[in-house]
Every structure is written in C-alpha cells, then in structure tokens.
Structure 1
Amino acid sequence: MKEIFPTHKSTFTGEGLKKNILSEFNLSPDCECVLFKPGLNDTYKVLDNGTAYYLRVYPNKWRTKNDIESELKLINHLDKSNIQAAIPIKNMHDEYIMEINASEGVRYAVLFESAKGKSIPELNVSISRNYGKVVASIHEASDKMEKLERFELNMEYLLDTPLKSIQPFLKHREADFNFLQTTANALSAKISEIMSESKLDYGVCHGDFHYGNIFSGENDEISVFDFDCFGYGWRAYDISVFLWSCVPENNWEQDNLDKRALLWKAFLDGYLSLKPLSEAEIKAAYVFVAIRHIWLLGIHVNGVSAWGTSWIHDKYFDEAITFIKKWIALHKVLD
C-alpha cells in the first residue's frame, strides 16, 4: 500500500462530517453540512430543521487540546454571566471536543450554536456603543475566573514571532523589513514607556474584537463569537482591535477619519459605562493598532498553506506598510 501523500490541511466533505462527527450529536440524520468559511480554521454551517449551528475544525498543531478546552471554559463562563456568545454543544458522550484523524495529523472539531442576530455590513454608533459594553462585560466577568491554560498576548506573540514569519516574504525588500523591525522595536518601547508611568489592565482578552466577530439583533444588542485568538494580555490591546477595524483601513479621507473617531468614541462610551479605562490605556490602544497590524501580517503569511500565496504580493505589503506609517504619523504614536 502506498504511503498517504503529505498534506498541509485537508478539506473534509460535508457528508463525511455528517457520518463521522455530526452523527455523535442530537441532530437529524438528514441535517445539512456545508463548508461555510475556509481558513486557518475551517467553519462548516450545519442546518437542522431550520436551526443553524457552526462546526469549527481546527488545523493540525494550531491549538492544543488544552488550549481549546480553556476557550470553551471561558465561553461557558461568559454565557453563565449573561453575556451573549456562541456557546459550544456537547455530543451524546458528554464531550465538546472531537478528534479527526486527518492525513496531516489530528484535528479537533467543536460544534457551536449560532450567535444571536445577524452579521452587520458596517458599524453604526449604537452598535459600537453596545459593543463597548459587551467588551467591558467580558473583561469584568473573566476576571472572576481561575487562571486558564492559555498563551500570553505579549510582545513575543504580537511582534517577535510574526516578524520571523514575515522576513522570508520580504527577502527582496530588505528596506521594508528593516522598517517593520525598527518600528516594532519602537512600538514595544513605547508600550514599556507607557507602562512605566501607569499600570495597564491585564487579563483575559478575546484577541480579535473586530466587527466581523459579532452579530447584532433588532435593537443593536451584541452577540460575540470566535474566541480562537483569546489569551492573556493587556486590555488596551483588546480594545485597540475595534479601533483598528471599525472603518476601511487605507481610506484616509477626512470623512473616514471622522467616522472612525465617532465610532471609537461610542465604543469607549459604552466600555466606560461599565468599566474604567485610564488615559494611558487609551493612549496605548493607539500604539497597539500598529502592533496589531504587524501581528496580522504574521498570521496571514503563516496561513499560506490554507489559502495560498497568490495574494501575499508586493501590493499587499505596500498597503500594510502604508497603513502602519500613516497611522503612526497621523496619531503621533511614537512621539
């Protein structure tokens, strides 16, 4: 028998998942299962008698089983704290996590309920304010938990490791890589400077609070999902992701800048109505926006085995570096 050909990440059929995974849950045999969103994690949409669920299949060696168990413990704690989140579902054996013996190695699968509400095409003031309240609620509720086994969202995670991944893709653009390295060092030093003057709140962070990870209901109430990037870090970083993502990143027209400021103010108003933020933390959030963008570059280049290299091209890096430079200059981040 020939050896199985090596793979980076296999794509499972809906029928295969129905037979081998979904059959272990209290679902109808004729439920539908289709690939909804491929990526680092593959997400399958499951429809059963009009009810939607989402099956996440983690890639091999992306998260440990303990990492995933901590993610699910956090989500269940938030649910018990009356915070709307897409909660995991146990199978008929009282288990959340199922193993799939893929050709590339073991992959883990978890079935989630759908978050309440619907995806939003863009943010408005009301949703942004409610989003701020939910983020503050998550930070407060998670502070009441025992420490979970999870990684730290420190500078090694946010800057050092991403830069090592980025470097091979910029071998022909040495000056640009040197800019990213020098800027990363300066951004890290700026956070250290801020922390030397004022303590930054540290604890559980969702790690990916952009508006693609929320649903909104009829009254703009917020339901959160995708805690895959959660870890322990500075809360200023967690809120910075909203600031980073709330409007198109490379639109520098004044109308766009005004809209970002309006949505950011609404988000902060919501957050501050439940939990304090110091001026130093808000200042740090602007620094973390640039750090976040470097982190994202690392995530993207690490994911080429899932989505290929066709879009990791010079224009991609041009746009990313332009954003970092303009953000730093506009907000005087390193002054």
Structure 2
Amino acid sequence: MSTFPAQYSTLSATALKSYCETAYNLNLLNCKYLLRGVSDTYILTGETNKYVLKIYRDKHRSLEEIKGEVQLLNTLKDAGANVAYPLTDIFNNPIQKFDAAEGTRYGILFSYAEGKPVLEMNDEQLKITGREMAAVHNITSVIQLNYPRKVYTVNTTLTQPIKIIEPAFEELPEEYTYLQEIAPKIIEKLNSFDLSTFSYGYCQYDFLPKNFHFSDDNKLTFFDFDFAGQGHLANDLMSFFVHFFAHVYTGKLTDEEADRMFKVFIEAYREVRPVSDEEIEAIPYLGVGFWVFYLGFQYENFDDWSNLFWGPKFIKDRVALIKTWVNKYCEF
C-alpha cells in the first residue's frame, strides 16, 4: 500500500537520537521535541553537553539558503562573535538530509546557547547586548555570502506582503485599507532619509530576547538566524526596540523607562560601532515593515506552521498594534 501524500511530517525524536549518535559520534541521553515553528526544533542531551537540532521545511528554506545560514554562522564564530553555530558530522558535513513523508527535509545540529532568555534586562545586560550586537554587525557589514538569503527592502517588507495577505482581510476591509494607506506614507518617509549612508549587510531581523541567552555569569550567546538576510543593519536595532514597545503595549514598562533602556543599549552599541542619529530616527518606519513582513509570513505559512492563533481576531488585534506603533512613533 502506497503512503498517502503529506505536506508536513514530524520526525521521530527517538529516531533522531539514534541518527545523531551515529552521524556525530555522540553518546546521547535523550532527544526531546521542543517546538514546531518556523522549523522543527529538538533538544538533545548528552552526558556533559546539550545540542539543538533544527529540521527545516523546504517550502520555507531551500538547501541553498540553509547553506547560506551555515556560512554566515561559521563566519561569525570564526571572527569571535558569540553565536550558536552548526556542528559537523563524522564526515565533516554540517547539513543532514532526511527522507520525510512529504519529501526531503534538511537538518542542522547546533551548539547549545548556555543560559536562558532574559525578558527584563538590567542595565549591564542591555550594555552587553549592545556591544555584542555591534560586534556581530562589524562582521556582517563586510562579508558577502556565497549563497542567497532574503533581501529586506520596502518591497519585500511592505509592498509584497500587503498584496499577499489581502485574502485574509475579506471580513476586515477597514483594517486592510489602513495598511494600504499607511504603506506609501512609510515608504515616502524612508525615502526622505539618506539611505545610502545607512550601514548595510546581513541583519538577523529577529533580534528579540527570545533569540539570545544569558548565562549565570552574563555571557551572551545569539542564536536563531533563520531569517537572516541582507538589509540595513538598523533593522536589527529596530527588532530589538520591538521588545520594549511590546512591554509598553502590555503595560510592563512605561514609555519613559522603555526609552531610557533603549538608550542604554544604543550607547553601548556605539562603543563598538557607529550608528547615526538618522538611522535611529528611521527605526519607527522600518518597524512597520517588520510587523507587516511577519504578518505576511504567518499568512503564507499557516498550513505548514499550524499557527493556531491565526484568524480574524488575531489579524484585527495585530493591525490595532500597528496603528498604536504608528501613532506613537511615526511622524508624517
């Protein structure tokens, strides 16, 4: 009897444990499925070390794009940046191939980022984050990968996603009209800056605290560069600022404290790498692209990601959040 076609399978943690023990010559105690998100993530535990195994989806990341992520992380590691990096198997291969029910899926075993995410950072941790992000940018601003990665422009973060998500707004015409009307204003404002002077390179595009860990002795390790692509490096400052906005939006921080904390971060960043006042001024407008880009991603990947939160209420609430962002930070 032939197997019925599938579009998304979940690989067995037990089988992956056995596979990784052989492929990487490891003695593992267990392999546990952590989450189903952009990719499937597993935690592997050995006698002394932990590892993270990510299984990619072909619809989301091609093999060439995965190779680009590997090259980026290895470049960062070799240059001294604190990142979780791909490990190689006994044949020195960083990428594994799995014949899953839906077809070929690829996987990478990463070093483990020791520690845990800190959502309420103190000033010292803010300074460490600023300096370490700047150190990453000193590397990603001067390299060119041999493999393609997404390019973040107003077209890929605003124009295209707004067209893509139109069917999802059938019951929310006012919300869709708002996005259609705000996008050209954001684009016009961004074009008013001298973008040619903005630092450019590979940005992580998701520099939220969930994607870096602090150890007990405050050593920071960045991870999850799945969305890394070419663009203005101010996008990373913007995505970190999103964290403070979210805390204000949910009542966990005042505007004044959020602004103070972000300034602490920026001052530390500037100890390692310059960033112009104009780049900082552009953050609110780049941020609208951030929100719309991920709205488009969530819509396009609903079937495979199983993001159960997606629906009219989520969409309406997200547009309300974008309106709050625009009203609070953007000037036209």
Q: 1:70 to 1:254 in 2, by over 3 A?
A: closer
2:249 to 248, 251, 268: 251
Partner of 1:36: 34
How many residues align structurally?
331
Q: Is this contact kept in 2: 1:250–1:323, CA < 8 A?
A: no
Report if aligned partners of 2:72, 2:145 keep a CA contact under 8 Å in 1.
no
- Give, as a single letter, the amino acid of the residue that structure 2 aligns with 1:158: T
- The aligned runs of 1:127-166 (5 Å cut-off) are 127-149=125-147, 150-166=149-165
Identity of aligned residues (%): 25
Q: In 2 relative to 1, CA 121–309 (structure 1 residues): closer, same or farther, beyond 3 Å?
A: closer
Amino acid at match of 2:78: K
With 298-307 and 50-59 compared, the bigger mean Cα shift is at 298-307
| Offset at residue 115 of structure 1 (A) | 1.2
- Length-normalised TM-score, structure 2: 0.93
The answer to whether the 8 A contact 1:211-1:246 is kept is no
> 8 Å contact 1:84–1:116 — kept in the other structure?
no
Match 1:266 to one of 264, 267, 272: 264
Q: Which stretch of structure 1 is more off in the superposition, 300-309 or 239-248?
A: 300-309
Cα deviations across residues 166-222 of structure 1 (Å, max 9, x unaligned)? Answer: 2121111122112112212221221111136x6221111111101100001234332
CA distance in 2, matches of 1:233, 1:99: 30
Report SS of the residue matched to 2:69.
helix
Q: How does 1:24-103 map to 2 (within 5 A)?
A: 24-28=23-27, 30-103=28-101
Distance 2:121 2:252 in 1: 18
TM-score scaled by structure 1?
A: 0.92
Give the aligned partner of residue 325 of structure 1. Answer: 323
Aligned match of 1:236 in 234, 237, 240?
Answer: 234
Query: Per-residue CA shift, 1:30-86, capped at 9, x if unaligned?
Result: 531111121120100000113110000001231122211121111112112221110
Partner of 1:14: 13
Say if 2:299 is the partner of 1:301.
Answer: yes
Matched residue SS, 1:194: coil
For residues 88 and 229 of structure 1, the distance between their equivalents in structure 2, rounded to whole angstroms, comes to 16
Task: Name the SS of the counterpart of 2:45 in structure 1.
Answer: strand
Q: 1:330 to 1:177 in 2, by over 3 A?
A: same
For structure 1, the residue ranges without an aligned partner over 5 or more in a row are none
- Give unmatched runs, 5+ long, in structure 2: none
Distance 1:89 1:147 in 2: 19
RMSD: 2.0
Q: Deviations over 1:200-250 (max 9, x none)?
A: 211111111011000012343321001111111011112100001235356
Match of 1:186 in 2: 185
